[in-house]
Amino acid sequence: MAELDSLIDSMISQRKAGEVNYIDDKYADTIKVESIPSKGQGVFAQRSLSVKDALCSLNVPTTMAIDAEYLSTTCYHCLIVTSTQLPLAQAGTASASLKDCGGCRKARFCSRECQVEAWHAYHKFECKIFKKVADDLPPPILRAVLRVVLLKDRNKIPEDEWTRISSLTSHEHILAGRGRSNITDMAEGIKHLAESSMTVEMIQRLIFIMRSNTIELPTPIHGPMGVMLEPLVAKFNHSCEPNLAIHRPQYTMKSRWMKSEQLSEDERQTFFQLIPLRDIQQGEELCISYVVPTVSVSARRKKLMDDYLFECNCPRCKSDMEASAELSKEHPTLPGQFEQWVKDVGRHLGRVSKDPSSLQKAGSVMAKSDRFYDYPTIYTTGDYPEIAMTIIFEALKSQEFDEALGNILRIYFLINPARLVGRHNPTNLYTIFLMLDIFDVVLGIKVPTGANDDKVKKWQQSLSERGLTESGLIYWREKVCADLRRRLESSAAKDLLVLVDERDMQAKQVSQTQGHGDEKKEGPESAEEEMRALLRIKEQKWSQVMRQNGC
Ligand SMILES: C[S@@+](CC[C@H](N)C(=O)[O-])C[C@H]1O[C@@H](n2cnc3c(N)ncnc32)[C@H](O)[C@@H]1O
């Protein structure tokens, strides 16, 4: 009976969704929500949009939750990151120190103001619960649901916001038919923890709503760090070739950004923006990507089906699938070889925690990936970037910065240009910021905790053995900085240029004190030759790689 009620409620709410207003008056001339056959509703451009201007600026959403691994290094309220998970030199992090919440000891705050604001707005309701489940903190999506339940029970969510949230697509009418699932257990668990008066069916629907509508809490310099639900953003459909991205302006990554005197009223109200990845024509559907754009076509489609219950038919999925089929036809043995190679790298990576030398073994198998360079389809459709990223993170954890640099350069030169829309795509920006951090470490511009000059020499020696000299490193660091600057200048993420200025200044200071300036006279030709050698790219292909990358 309860299931029937919930089914009817769900259908009413889906119908009502058409009547709910998701768009603030100030954006009524820019975007509109319309129905689309087989997609529900979607958002369309009311006018042409320039790649250089943000489309809309949005406030801190009602509900968000930080990934458990970020809790100890991120202010729970203003979300500044005070140190990275990786042993880098803390580039791009705030200098503030965090203090534990005395109650749950899970949330941490950068200031008294953040703590007090968070306490009154939401934390006093969840603090006791976090203390109770401290050893088994629920995953971010369930913590986001818990927060909505707690706030709704206490009338802390304005009625129109509640209508927007509760009218979002839940797919409950499909999922409810699948019988008692573990989602019901989770809903019961949340009801119990929150001592809520809400029905289990309603909490279950909120879980479904979260699953189908939350997006990643973004930061261009630290990668995704949790989830958030913003009702307007939840109206945008997905494309693996999106024309929009989520952008966190640089000032939101500073301690107490919301209260900063130097910010305009508009900036103080802005937590994130939707920015175009290219120029957009009036009438085009506006899409974001729900999945990490670097994963393989099959992994993307599986996630979209499992979590969002639709089959993606975007142009990129179609062309990726066609390209894969074509490649298997033309080179029947290649996919098998690639699979074997992936397994070999994966096998070594799987052993790293027991045997640190496995990282080097994985790295040397990875370095032999050059036999696949002539088949870019492998990069655009397969798992190559994910594997390269895993090697990079493992290498950073064990301070093998030479290994990390070699692999991130592969991603920068060979992989991302072939698969990402927009040179200022957040995935590109994240890769470049991370790469600059690594450059800074191997050049001794920033020395991570636990390292010393001898280690810097060791990394440089190893890179030199792979073909990249210190002067080459300096050349490419500068070139990558200039590339990042150009990408940002022609985008709506120009505020991040400040971070490039900071890096430029630090590099100049160090290069002056170390007298590196002279070494650059070896010239671009030798630096390019070195990079070709490191990446094992043939000379004929190099100009194409450089053109595609735009470096
Ligand atoms: C976050 S909502 C997007 C807005 C939704 N279309 C609506 O009407 O409210 C996600 C849901 O929209 C639908 N959707 C999003 N992108 C789609 C696409 N490319 N093709 C088909 N359905 C899509 C799926 O049902 C998905 O679970």
Residue with more model confidence, 123 or 252: 123
Number of domains in the chain: 2
**Over the stretch 196-218, which tens digit does the pLDDT of each residue have?**
999 999 999 999 999 999 998 87
Q: How many C-beta atoms surround the C-beta of residue 128 within 10 A?
A: 11
In a domain, 299, yes or no: no
Supply the DSSP string of 488-537, one letter for each residue. Answer: HHTSS-GGGHHHHHHHHHHHHHHHHHHTGGGGGGGHHHHHHHHHHHHHT-
Whether residue 365 is found in the same domain as residue 514:
yes
Q: Is 21 strand, coil or helix?
A: coil
Of 108-117, 375-384, 508-517, least confident by mean pLDDT is 508-517
Q: What is the pLDDT of residue 2?
A: 45
The residue nearest atom 26 of ligand 1, judged by CA position, is: 308
Residues 337 and 284 occupy one common structural domain: no
Phi, psi of 191 (to 5 degrees): -60, -45
What range does the domain containing 168 cover?
2-288
**pLDDT bracket for residue 504 (50, 70, 90):** confident
Q: Is residue 297 part of a domain?
A: no
Cα(238) to ligand 1 centroid in Å equals 7
Say whether pLDDT at 5 is over 50.
no
| Lookup result for tokens 């119908």 | 15
243 alpha carbon – ligand 1 mean position (Å):
16
143 lines ligand 1 (CB under 6 A): no
Tell whether 268 and 338 lie within a shared domain.
Answer: no
Let me know if residue 397 belongs to a domain: yes
**17 and 118 assigned to the same domain:** yes
Q: Whose CA is nearest to atom 21 of ligand 1?
A: 39
- Judge if the beta carbon of residue 120 lies within 6 A of ligand 1: no
Q: How confident is the model at residue 511 (pLDDT cuts 50, 70, 90)?
A: low
- Give yes or no for residue 451 having a pLDDT over 50: yes
**In the structure, what pLDDT confidence band is assigned to residue 449 with cuts at 50, 70 and 90?**
confident
Could you tell me if the CB of 214 is within 6 A of ligand 1?
no
Q: What angle do CA 118, 218, 34 make, to 5 degrees?
A: 100
**Could you give the C-alpha distances from 515 to 52, 465, 507, 511, 519, in angstroms and in order?**
38, 23, 12, 6, 8
Atom 23 in ligand 1: which residue has the minimum CA distance?
Answer: 39
Q: Minimum mean pLDDT among 89-93, 159-163, 301-305, 308-312: which range?
A: 89-93
Do 94 and 232 lie in a common domain? Answer: yes
Q: Mapping DSSP to helix (H, G, I), strand (E, B) and coil, where does residue 42 land?
A: strand
- How many of the other CB atoms lie within 10 Å of CB of 340? 9
Does residue 242 sit in the same domain as residue 345?
no
| CATH of residue 65 | 3.90.1410
Ligand 1 atom at minimum distance from 235 CA: 4
In the reported structure, the alpha carbon of residue 224 is separated from the centroid of ligand 1 by a whole-number distance in angstroms of 21
Mark whether 426 and 277 lie in a shared domain. Answer: no
Residues 392 and 485 in one domain: yes
Is residue 307 in some structural domain? no
Q: What is the DSSP string of 50-71?
A: -TTS-SEEE---SEEEE-GGGG
Interatomic CA distance for residues 276 and 267, integer angstroms: 19
Taking alpha carbons only, the member of 4, 18, 38, 308 closest to residue 171 is 308
Q: Is the pLDDT of residue 236 over 90?
A: yes
Question: For the stretch 195-207, what's the b/e string if a residue is b when 16 or more beta carbons lie within 10 angstroms of its beta carbon?
Answer: ebebebbbbbbbb
Q: Three-state SS for 129? A: helix
Residue 520 has pLDDT above 60, yes or no: no
295 in a domain, yes or no?
Answer: no
Residue 200 falls inside a structural domain? yes
The finding on whether 215 has its CB within 6 A of some atom of ligand 1 is no
Residue 318 domain-assigned (yes or no): no
Which protein residue has the closest C-alpha to ligand 1 atom 27?
308
Helices 426-442, 470-489: crossing angle, 10 deg rounding = 150
Angle 182-186-191 (CA atoms, 0-180°, nearest 5)? Answer: 145
Q: Does 301 reside within a domain?
A: no
User: Among the atoms of ligand 1, which is closest to the Cα of residue 234?
Assistant: 1
In terms of domains, do 37 and 139 share one?
Answer: yes
Q: What is the pLDDT of residue 88?
A: 66
Q: Are residues 347 and 466 in the same domain?
A: yes
Statement to judge: residues 10 and 158 lie in one domain:
yes
Residues in the chain: 551
**pLDDT tens string 280-335:** 999 999 999 998 888 888 889 999 998 899 999 999 999 999 998 999 999 999 88
ipTM above 0.90, yes or no: yes
Averaged confidence pLDDT in the chain: 87
Residue reference for tokens 């307007």 = 232
Ligand 1 centroid – CA 235 distance (Å): 8
Confidence at residue 4, expressed as pLDDT on a 0 to 100 scale: 47
DSSP 333-398: THHHHHHHHHHHHHHHHHTTTT-THHHHHHHHHHHGGGGGTT-HHHHHHSSHHHHHHHHHHHHHHT
Q: What is the mean pLDDT of residues 495-521?
A: 74
Pair 167, 221 in one domain: yes
